[in-house]
Chain A
Amino acid sequence: MTLDTRVVAAARGVEVRLAVRAGQTLAVLGPNGSGKSTVLATIAGVLRPDDGRTDLDGDTLHDHATRTWVPPRQRGIGLVTQGADLFPAMSVLDNVAFGIRASGARARDARTQALDWLERVGLAGAAHRRPAELSGGQARRATLARTLAARPRALLLDEPFAGVDVEAASRLRTLVADVTRDVTTVIATHDALDAHLLAQEVAVLEHGAIAESGPTRTVLAHPRTDFAARMAGRFVLRGTAGSGTVSLPDGTTIAADTAAVSAGTPAAVALAAGEVHLAHPGERELGHERALRGGREPASPDSTPPGGAPGGDTTVPDVVAWLEPRGDVVRVQGTRTAVDVTPETAATLSPGSPFRVRLSDVPRAYAI
């Protein structure tokens, strides 16, 4: 089943075109309010857009131009949302049997099939419970079973791991990866991890429009836009390729692997906050900090990283924009870079403070 859709929802500021190849998974990556849910609800047919067209494997489900509109119950597109999806008045088993019965199966056969699905998602023991008695993770499993039991031609998962505790979300991810293997799937998520683990393709959504799209690894490792970089948990430094260097507009030179770019052309490097460290102030505290974190890099900033290039010598000056606590570290978000430091180090910084990040590795430059 190949899914091809164009959605225009003016009131929500959404204008998006997406395509998913048969059996593949596309991640729609964007923050809250970027229009992910609108796009998914439109594909499912529970929301009617102002304009657009949706085709599923040659069937036109919606075409504004020809006033074609297939109602959701005839689309065969499964939808799992981040809300409370299970029907609260019926048992978990009857929930899963609902779609099977709607397709005309007898109540008894539907229940037997539903029980198989509950077994597959590890919930057979909860068949006769009410949805209110399930945990968030269990409820999402049951919803997934219910949706798949209806044998959808395509599957839409809207933030399927939201509101589920970390451990349950991790198990749920494994389940989703398993059940979506051969199903044409669109997953809306704000978490780049979901895209990495579950999707071959990614479309980064910013304010209702696609900022960047393509194969997941390419987009997330070498983002072209700052927005996609932020969604991927990275920052991008843009400049001009030299021989083994990328020169930034302010004169900073970064040692880089320039095999993929030609000298003199625009090039960029993308880095994660975890791949750089703070060079100033407090070089000594930094070494201590990395030792504590069990960093694989040698503690001395003067050492030469594997590969022989002088990556350890590259530092990039920046100014603190804000400080963001993240568990046991503090993310120092600069105007163009980001770096994780200890709370003690963070205490010496405040918005406006100058700092430098030191690159631990020699990044690969890519054309922009």
Chain B
Amino acid sequence: MTVAMMPRWMMPLAVAAGALVALPLAATALRIDWSRLPELAASPSALDALGLSLRTAAVATALCVALGVPLGFALATWRSRAKPAVRALVLAPLVLPPVVGGLALLYAFGRRGLVGASLHAAGVELAFTTVAVVLAQTFVALPFMVLAVESAVSARGGHHEALAATLGASRSVTLWRVTVPALRPALITGTVLAFARALGEFGATLTFAGSLPGVTRTLPLEIYLQREADADAAVALAAVLVVVAVTVVALAYRPVVRRAS
């Protein structure tokens, strides 16, 4: 298209938006003590925290795909007047302060929680374990997947699914071979957003899982703790987190960007 879609006055605002994000990151980069960076970023506690963060965020993302995709489908195809209320409830973690989310998880799965009490009686402890970290991350990240899938499924008219049925295909075959490939961009978006949100999770994790080194102390928690003791170490870890997050987003988004161009 040769006629620009964007009026000129939008440009300064777009630049301002970019600056709002880029400036703090640049300021962080300026604070980095580059001579100590390798030593700080590769300290045992830092590597422990990074490894735990990547593992838990990966599991949480897998849970978001396994649970969030069906929930997105259900919300998109369900015809009920209760749907707006159910959707609002499912998406609540988006607007809830993460600390509140962590408390809610404690009330549900803590030792004296609604479900946790029975689990405790059965000898299963969730709170303050690595599983709790995954649960907290899934809790806050799930809505991103649900939203992405719901809007993509709603936007489909069902034309191809209907034709697949006339060709004799079962619903499952149609799902895997017709619907899922068509939802690819939405699934990638949902997965990337969920992973990013899980990786950065702090409040709910601290409240529900605590900060046990090697067990529940993820990279964001490590950064927060180091800030008190050694500001340089905190900055170095922050740089690591930024690099990991940006790399993941850039890699995962590339195919979609290519297709659009």
A residues touching B (Cβ–Cβ < 8 Å)?
Answer: 41, 44-46, 71-79, 81, 83-85, 87-90, 98-99, 102-103, 146-147, 150
What's the minimum C-beta distance from B198 to chain A, rounded to whole angstroms?
Answer: 28
What's the minimum C-beta distance from B259 to chain A, rounded to whole angstroms?
Answer: 12
Tell me the bound Cα distance from A41 to B160 in angstroms. Answer: 13
**Is A79 touching B163 in the complex (CB atoms < 8 A)?**
yes
**Is B169 touching A78 in the complex (CB atoms < 8 A)?**
no
**Is A85 touching B170 in the complex (CB atoms < 8 A)?**
no
Is B79 part of the contact surface with A, judged by Cβ < 8 Å? no
**Is B162 touching A99 in the complex (CB atoms < 8 A)?**
no
Taking a contact as CB atoms closer than 8 A, the residue among A71, A81, A90, A102 that contacts B159 in the complex is A81
Tell me the bound Cα distance from A98 to B176 in angstroms. Answer: 12
Chain A residues within 8 Å of B163, by CB: 46, 79, 81, 85
**Is A75 touching B166 in the complex (CB atoms < 8 A)?**
yes
Hey, what's the 0/1 contact readout for B156-195 against A, CB within 8 Å counting as 1? 0001101111111110010001100110100000000000
Known: A72-B162, A81-B159, A83-B159. A102 touches B181 (CB 8 A): no
Majority SS of interface residues in chain B? Answer: helix
Chain B residues within 8 Å of A75, by CB: 166
**Is B165 touching A46 in the complex (CB atoms < 8 A)?**
yes
**Is A90 touching B170 in the complex (CB atoms < 8 A)?**
no
What's the minimum C-beta distance from B158 to chain A, rounded to whole angstroms?
Answer: 9
**Is B178 touching A102 in the complex (CB atoms < 8 A)?**
no
**Is B167 touching A102 in the complex (CB atoms < 8 A)?**
yes
Taking a contact as CB atoms closer than 8 A, the residue among B159, B167, B181 that contacts A89 in the complex is B181
Tell me the bound Cα distance from A323 to B183 in angstroms. Answer: 49
**Is A98 touching B166 in the complex (CB atoms < 8 A)?**
no
Nearest A-chain residue to B158, judged by Cβ: A46
- For B160, B164, B165, the residue with the greatest tally of chain A CB atoms inside 10 Å of its CB is B165
Chain B residues within 8 Å of A46, by CB: 162-163, 165-166
**Is A87 touching B159 in the complex (CB atoms < 8 A)?**
no
**Is A72 touching B165 in the complex (CB atoms < 8 A)?**
yes
**Is A73 touching B165 in the complex (CB atoms < 8 A)?**
yes
Tell me the bound Cα distance from A84 to B160 in angstroms. Answer: 9
**Is B182 touching A102 in the complex (CB atoms < 8 A)?**
no
Having A71-B165, A73-B170, A87-B178, one finds 10 other A-B pairs with CB under 8 Å, namely A45-B166, A73-B167, A76-B168, A78-B166, A78-B167, A79-B166, A84-B159, A87-B177, A102-B170, A150-B168
**Is A102 touching B169 in the complex (CB atoms < 8 A)?**
yes
Chain A residues within 8 Å of B166, by CB: 44-46, 72-73, 75, 77-79, 147, 150
Tell me the bound Cα distance from A326 to B162 in angstroms. Answer: 38
Known: A72-B162, A79-B163, A98-B177. A89 touches B182 (CB 8 A): yes
Chain A residues within 8 Å of B182, by CB: 88-89
What's the minimum C-beta distance from A113 to chain B, rounded to whole angstroms?
Answer: 13
Question: 18 A-B pairs, CB-CB below 8 angstroms?
Answer: A45-B166, A46-B163, A72-B162, A72-B166, A73-B168, A76-B168, A77-B166, A83-B159, A85-B159, A88-B182, A89-B178, A89-B182, A98-B167, A98-B177, A99-B167, A102-B164, A102-B170, A150-B167
Chain A residues within 8 Å of B173, by CB: 102
Nearest A-chain residue to B171, judged by Cβ: A73
Tell me the bound Cα distance from A150 to B168 in angstroms. Answer: 8
Known: A83-B159, A102-B173. A90 touches B167 (CB 8 A): no
What's the minimum C-beta distance from B77 to chain A, rounded to whole angstroms?
Answer: 15
